[in-house]
Chains A and B, each alone.
Chain A
Amino acid sequence: MNHHYITLKDFNLFLTKLVNQKIVYGPVARKNKFVFDLISSPEQLRLDYDVTILPPKKIFFPPKQHLLHFDGESYKDCLDPKEQIIMGVHNYDIKAIDQLDFLFKEKNPDDHYLLNRRKTTIIGSNIQTIAARSFWGSAGAGVEPKGHDGFLTKLKDGFVFETRTKKAENLVKFAKFIKAKKTQVEQAAQINTAVKKKCPAKLAYSSAEIAIKTRLAFKNNELWERLSKDCFSCGSCNTTCATCYCFDVQDSWNLDQKSGFRTRYWDSCMTVEFAKTSLGGGAVHNFRALRRERFRHRVMRKLVYLNDKLGGPACVGCGRCATACTADIADPVNIVKEIMEA
């Protein structure tokens, strides 16, 4: 839509007004890490963050979400969408959210996701600090970020604010935005292009090359065995992933023995129990009982299976899995290297 400009000083006033009137989330510091959290005053917002522990999807698709409440006779859904703004979403997370939007809409539209999502305004921001294990510069390089409402790029004395939807355009009235100059818009574009080359880690092959070779490696048991030897099946590479969307649903009863909740939790295909299925009569079959099968499955999901549907790989290169894996075997950059050289 439009390109606006705001000075650093006015940006602070803008934030103050915004957080007083709206529910605003953004990256904040937590010890030596960052997390998306509620912002109650402007200095909390750390647009200079590198990456957060969990991706911003947690705000509209929380790790634990009540789906419905029942009382023995009837049930009521727990939909309660709230108008909210997420500030400071990096491009890799914008791409990831765009994928989730698609996946939760296709086939059986998921209202517990979609209603929250529709009420959420997403304002991206340029990457000022680069996380050590990130490789978004080369992951799905041909895919442009979309689906967000606005985008902030920090120049020396202020921000260029690109509004892409009405939701974002409505925010402009909160402060002294002026029309951005052509040079400022160009400068912003240049900053966002240049940063892509600055990731310390890089995939040395195109998404298509990786997908082909990875699929061909499916039966290379020795490779998967070697890569997964130290795997804990702990799922941290899924539970921190920007694009994972699997969930588990459980019912729990209150002690009145009548009422309770149906709740969903983020799930993880790396855990042993994920692929356990009932054969009836108490019999159980696990169709990915081996560590190497689960490890391979995640890799296939991130690099191969979803590519056609999503128009690019399901890995956006945030590097969260690489950081979260205590055995340090989850980094797609290393995995891809091993596969391509196998």
Chain B
Amino acid sequence: MTQKPKVAFFDFSSCEGCQIELTNFGDADFLELLNHIDIVEFREAMSEKTDDIDIACIEGSFTRESEKDRLIAIRNRAKIVIAYGACAHTAGINALKNHTTDFKKAVYGQDADQPHLNSNDKALPISHVIKVDYFAPGCPMSKYEFLNIVSHLLHGKEPVIPTYPVCVECKRNETICRYDVGDHCMGQVAMAGCGAPCPSQGIPCEACRGFCEQANLTALENTLINKAGFSASRAKDKLRMFTNALLPDTSNP
């Protein structure tokens, strides 16, 4: 690209934690990236708007009807769309409500009927509404992976994101498997690319990056029951944390 590509950031239903991950200025890598791109919209940082965008980076899930038009408008202005963070990629923890009906009451109690709290029954990945070209998964997403994706795009190259499970990276780190210390883990079905930081810190993988290719969810339930001593219902519910919107019983809008 001769001119610096125009990059814009948008946020939908999310905690905006992934933006914070990015706006971690003072980080030499991010400042270096700014030498190669023009940021034209960034809710957290600026206000001017432009009509054509080379790369639109979208954070957050689709959970209100009104968000549909906004997403479509962004898609129409953007050459490339990157969904960044679990909320945009898998609907993340917003989808925890997807298999329930009393979520408003549970969260807001007697204020549950206030109109501004209205949202769809299901939170969904933005890919349900618009075509997404690249995903930077994770809760929060890894800024290094994000930079790696943008860096590849600037070269006109396809970014390489692994499709295999977290276990591959966990073993390369020679981390003691959670199952070998009487714990549980979901790294066997989670998509790698994060470098398996959670098991290496002694906590289970919660599959915040969504599922790997051909994720064997039945086998995971069996393993959680047989090896980690979970009850059948807890084993089933375990998968809802970051991937509820991807499960067969909750994925249809």
Given known A257-B151, A272-B213, A291-B214, contact A326–B177 (CB-CB < 8 A)? yes
Chain B residues closer than 8 Å to A236, beta-carbon distance = 167-168, 171, 177
- Please tell me if the beta carbons of B171 and A255 are within 8 angstroms of each other in the complex: no
Within 8 A of A (CB), among B226-244: 227
- Please tell me if the beta carbons of A64 and B219 are within 8 angstroms of each other in the complex: no
- Please tell me if the beta carbons of B227 and A268 are within 8 angstroms of each other in the complex: no
Say which one of A148-156, A172-180, A225-233, A300-308 lies at the interface with B.
A225-233
- Please tell me if the beta carbons of B227 and A273 are within 8 angstroms of each other in the complex: no
Q: Does any Cβ of B come within 8 Å of A45's Cβ? A: no
Question: How far is it, in angstroms, between the C-alpha of A239 and the C-alpha of B174 when the chains are bound?
Answer: 10
Chain A residues closer than 8 Å to B177, beta-carbon distance = 236, 324, 326
Say which one of B53-61, B181-189, B245-253 lies at the interface with A.
B181-189
Contact partner, A35, options B162, B165, B174, Cβ 8 Å: B174
Say which one of B13-21, B28-36, B66-74 lies at the interface with A.
B28-36
Q: Does any Cβ of B come within 8 Å of A253's Cβ? A: yes
Given known A33-B176, A327-B222, contact A273–B188 (CB-CB < 8 A)? no
Q: Does any Cβ of A come within 8 Å of B220's Cβ? A: yes
Given known A64-B172, A235-B171, A327-B223, contact A257–B164 (CB-CB < 8 A)? no
Q: Does any Cβ of A come within 8 Å of B116's Cβ? A: no
Q: Does any Cβ of B come within 8 Å of A221's Cβ? A: no
Contact partner, A272, options B163, B222, B223, Cβ 8 Å: B163
**28 pairs, A vs B, C-beta closer than 8 Å:** A30-B176, A32-B176, A32-B181, A33-B176, A53-B174, A63-B171, A63-B172, A64-B172, A230-B216, A230-B219, A230-B223, A231-B216, A232-B165, A232-B189, A232-B215, A233-B213, A233-B214, A234-B188, A235-B167, A239-B172, A255-B35, A255-B36, A256-B32, A271-B163, A272-B212, A273-B213, A326-B227, A327-B219
Given contacts A233-B164, A233-B165, 15 further A-B contacts (CB under 8 A): A58-B174, A63-B172, A229-B219, A230-B222, A231-B216, A232-B165, A234-B165, A236-B171, A255-B151, A257-B151, A273-B162, A326-B167, A326-B188, A327-B219, A327-B223
Question: How far is it, in angstroms, between the C-alpha of A240 and the C-alpha of B173 when the chains are bound?
Answer: 11
Contact partner, B165, options A33, A64, A235, A252, Cβ 8 Å: A235
Question: How far is it, in angstroms, between the C-alpha of A326 and the C-alpha of B177 when the chains are bound?
Answer: 9
Chain B nearest CB from A268 CB (Å) reads 6
Number of interface residues of A (CB under 8 A): 38
- Please tell me if the beta carbons of B168 and A271 are within 8 angstroms of each other in the complex: yes
Given known A255-B32, A273-B164, contact A33–B180 (CB-CB < 8 A)? yes
- For B201-216 the 0/1 string (1 means CB < 8 A from A) is 0000000000011111
Q: How large is the interface on B (under 10, 10 to 19, 20 to 34, 35 or more residues)?
A: 35 or more
Task: Select from chain A the residue with minimum beta-carbon distance to B218.
Answer: A230
- Please tell me if the beta carbons of A257 and B219 are within 8 angstroms of each other in the complex: no
Given known A31-B181, A230-B222, A232-B188, contact A268–B164 (CB-CB < 8 A)? yes
Question: How far is it, in angstroms, between the C-alpha of A265 and the C-alpha of B193 when the chains are bound?
Answer: 13
Q: Does any Cβ of B come within 8 Å of A266's Cβ? A: yes
- B residues contacting A by CB (< 8 A) are 29, 32-33, 35-36, 147-148, 151-152, 154-155, 160, 162-165, 167-168, 171-174, 176-177, 179-181, 185, 187-189, 212-216, 218-220, 222-223, 227
Question: How far is it, in angstroms, between the C-alpha of A54 and the C-alpha of B177 when the chains are bound?
Answer: 12
Chain A residues closer than 8 Å to B168, beta-carbon distance = 234-236, 239, 268, 271
Chain B residues closer than 8 Å to A291, beta-carbon distance = 214, 216
Q: Does any Cβ of B come within 8 Å of A250's Cβ? A: yes
Task: Select from chain B the residue with minimum beta-carbon distance to A36.
Answer: B174
Question: How far is it, in angstroms, between the C-alpha of A330 and the C-alpha of B162 when the chains are bound?
Answer: 23
